[in-house]
Amino acid sequence: MNALAATNRNFKLASRLLGLDSKLEKSLLIPFREIKVECTIPKDDGTLQSYIGFRVQHDNARGPMKGGIRYHPEVDPDEVNALAQLMTWKTAVANIPYGGAKGGIGCNPSELSISELERLTRVFTQKIHDLIGTHMDVPAPDMGTGPQTMAWILDEYSKFHGYSPAVVTGKPIDLGGSLGRDAATGRGVLFATEALLNENGKSISGQRFVIQGFGNVGSWAAQLIDEKGGKIVAVSDITGAIKNKKGIDIPSLLKYTKENKGVKGFHGADSIDSNSILLEDCDVLIPAALGGVINRENANEIKAKFIVEAANHPTDPDADEILKKKGVVILPDIYANSGGVTVSYFEWVQNIQGFMWDEEKVNNELKNYMTKGFKDVKDMCKTHECDLRMGAFSLGVNRVARATVLRGWEA
Ligand SMILES: NC(=O)C1=CN([C@@H]2O[C@H](COP(=O)(O)OP(=O)(O)OC[C@H]3O[C@@H](n4cnc5c(N)ncnc54)[C@H](OP(=O)(O)O)[C@@H]3O)[C@@H](O)[C@H]2O)C=CC1
Ligand SMILES: O=C(O)CCC(=O)C(=O)O
């Protein structure tokens, strides 16, 4: 099932749980606006190369639309649509005053030079600058993008609209980025995992973790879980997968990946088949890379007791059903990885206030939001006698539906 069909299915199940009117259901499902732009840039060798960029603005009932921009070869309109919709429910679950959006460019950033990436980002911004803005749609980093990408967007946007730091979040600190945003998604994953384990009479310390993806989210989650005494027994990235039953030395791995651009070849662990990373024996599995990786092909073989979805849409609905029967507890993406957008909200607030918070305040506030989010999701599970995914979806969809009805449709 593709990402959009899967997301629509989860939305419709939640809508039925809530008893939403079918017309309201339809209006919540259809995106507010879908943008597709051609981005042609001269490559460093003088030849021209064209790329397609997307921005899907799904819903703005609760506030400006918000969501990352992804640079990846597999970016396609259906996936961006699904990810934009997930952002709408995610910002509502986190209870921050935003709607949802997502963007992407179909490209392989590892094959582009820094100056080619800068040209591509600037051309994309030129094409969408009228449709984003501090109170309209606020992009942020996602896979293949980061603070430097946000700095280029900020600069290009400001040429048209005047200096506007709050038009993007996840910026470098020197340009108004928030302390703690870089680590925020991984830190949110830590807080979410702690909440889930505590509820099950366990703690991070003593649990065995497997993490797929060692980029922004995966590496921060690994570092913070390691600092709390969790044992990380296997990790992977695009270069390969490694395993050490006794626990991987994460500080050494972080140093190694900076120097070697990947986990492959790390001396303190054995190399394993990348395809088997999700099937490794562990207590908690944390997918932190691509979507759709847990599906009907592999769900039966998963050994973890808990899955914490740091990636967006890592679990296919077929796999959800199989894992539920096996008794595996899944903490869904729209709650588990909401730490990133929550600190993006803090960054936006700081930019608008013109006042910078210290990192302790950012991290404490993030913990408050993640703790409250877990309680709100659990309350919905109790009310609707459903699993955590439906608890999170029904929480998010209900908040957006209420805002939509309150705003009304009068022309
Ligand atoms: N950044 C954020 O704030 C947020 C991100 N997310 C989600 O988290 C996930 C990861 O994003 P982020 O960490 O920002 O992205 P990054 O680009 O920083 O990292 C992605 C990681 O995934 C690895 N990867 C790519 N393809 C594969 C593969 N086939 N198998 C194993 N690993 C792979 C990459 O390897 P390599 O580096 O070697 O290419 C890299 O380690 C995405 O689903 C994203 O949507 C969710 C909420 C917020
Ligand atoms: O920080 C943000 O605004 C969005 C992050 C994001 O893209 C996500 O949560 O998937």
Query: How remote is the CA of residue 268 from the centroid of ligand 2, in Å?
Result: 33
Please work out whether the CB of residue 140 comes within 6 Å of at least one atom of ligand 2: yes
94 and 342 in contact (C-beta within 8 Å)?
Answer: yes
39 and 120 in contact (C-beta within 8 Å)?
Answer: yes
Residue 161: helix, strand or coil by DSSP?
helix
- The token duo for 191 is 């807080």
Query: How remote is the CA of residue 300 from the centroid of ligand 2, in Å?
Result: 30
39 to each of 75, 121, 225, 370, how far by Cα in Å? 14, 9, 40, 38
Q: What is the model's pLDDT at position 158?
A: 98
Residue 280: helix, strand or coil by DSSP?
coil
Distance CA 195, CA 266 (A): 32
In sequence order, the β-bridge partners of residue 49 are 41
112 to each of 43, 309, 344, how far by Cα in Å? 8, 29, 27
Query: How remote is the CA of residue 313 from the centroid of ligand 1, in Å?
Result: 12
Q: What is the model's pLDDT at position 1?
A: 83
Query: Of all protein residues, whose CA lies closest to atom 9 belonging to ligand 2?
Result: 341
Please work out whether the CB of residue 142 comes within 6 Å of at least one atom of ligand 2: yes
Q: What is the model's pLDDT at position 95?
A: 98
Secondary structure E strands in 293-377: 306-308, 329-331
Query: How remote is the CA of residue 21 from the centroid of ligand 1, in Å?
Result: 37
Residue 66, marked binder: yes
| 184 Cα nearest atom in ligand 1 | 3
388 to each of 191, 339, 385, how far by Cα in Å? 16, 17, 10
67 and 59 in contact (C-beta within 8 Å)?
Answer: no
Q: What is the model's pLDDT at position 136?
A: 98
Distance CA 384, CA 276 (A): 35
Please work out whether the CB of residue 139 comes within 6 Å of at least one atom of ligand 2: no
Question: Which stretch of DSSP H or E encloses residue 28?
Answer: helix 22-29
Please work out whether the CB of residue 310 comes within 6 Å of at least one atom of ligand 1: yes
Residues noted as catalytic: 102
Q: In sequence order, what DSSP letters do the residues of 372-400 get, joined into one string?
A: HHHHHHHHHHHHHT--HHHHHHHHHHHHH
Query: Of all protein residues, whose CA lies closest to atom 45 belonging to ligand 1?
Result: 312
119 and 364 in contact (C-beta within 8 Å)?
Answer: no
Distance CA 167, CA 165 (A): 6
The end-to-end CA distance of the chain, in Å, is 38
pLDDT in tens, 28-55: 999 999 999 999 999 999 999 999 999 9
Q: What is the model's pLDDT at position 181?
A: 98
Q: Kindly tell me the burial class for residue 33, based on how many C-beta atoms sit within 10 Å of its own C-beta (0-12, 13-18, 19 or more).
A: middle
Query: Of all protein residues, whose CA lies closest to atom 39 belonging to ligand 1?
Result: 238
Please work out whether the CB of residue 67 comes within 6 Å of at least one atom of ligand 2: yes
Distance CA 93, CA 374 (A): 9
Residue 5: helix, strand or coil by DSSP?
helix
Please work out whether the CB of residue 217 comes within 6 Å of at least one atom of ligand 1: yes
Q: What is the model's pLDDT at position 409?
A: 86
> Buried b / exposed e across 302-331, counting CB within 10 Å, b at 16+?
bebbbbbbbbbbbbbbebbebbeeeebbbb
- Residue 68 has φ and ψ, to the nearest 5°, of -75, 175
Residue 344, marked binder: yes
Query: How remote is the CA of residue 159 from the centroid of ligand 1, in Å?
Result: 31
Amino acid at site 74: E
In sequence order, the β-bridge partners of residue 106 are 72
92 and 60 in contact (C-beta within 8 Å)?
Answer: no
Query: How remote is the CA of residue 340 from the centroid of ligand 1, in Å?
Result: 13
Q: What is the model's pLDDT at position 289?
A: 97
Residue 125: helix, strand or coil by DSSP?
helix
Please work out whether the CB of residue 144 comes within 6 Å of at least one atom of ligand 2: no
Secondary structure E strands in 109-267: 137-141, 208-212, 231-237, 240-243
Residue 90, marked binder: yes
What is the chain's alpha carbon radius of gyration, rounded to the nearest angstrom? 20
* Ligand 2 pocket mutation, candidates 54, 65, 66, 75, criterion most atoms within 8 A of CB: 66
| pLDDT tens for the 411 residues of the chain, in order | 899 999 999 999 999 999 999 999 999 999 999 999 999 999 999 999 999 999 999 999 999 999 999 999 999 999 999 999 999 999 999 999 999 999 999 999 999 999 999 999 999 999 999 999 999 999 999 999 999 999 999 999 999 999 999 999 999 999 999 999 999 999 999 999 999 999 999 999 999 999 999 999 999 999 999 999 999 999 999 999 999 999 999 999 999 999 999 999 999 999 999 999 999 999 999 999 999 999 999 999 999 999 999 999 999 999 999 999 999 999 999 999 999 999 999 999 999 999 999 999 999 999 999 999 999 999 999 999 999 999 999 999 999 999 999 999 887
Query: What pTM, to 2 d.p., does this model score?
Result: 0.98
Please work out whether the CB of residue 212 comes within 6 Å of at least one atom of ligand 1: yes
Query: Of all protein residues, whose CA lies closest to atom 38 belonging to ligand 1?
Result: 238
* Ligand 1 pocket mutation, candidates 75, 85, 110, 143, criterion most atoms within 8 A of CB: 143
Please work out whether the CB of residue 337 comes within 6 Å of at least one atom of ligand 2: yes
Give the ligand whose atoms come closest to the C-alpha of residue 336: 1
Q: Which of 201, 174, 293, 283 is nearest to 241 (CA)?
A: 293
Q: What is the model's pLDDT at position 121?
A: 98
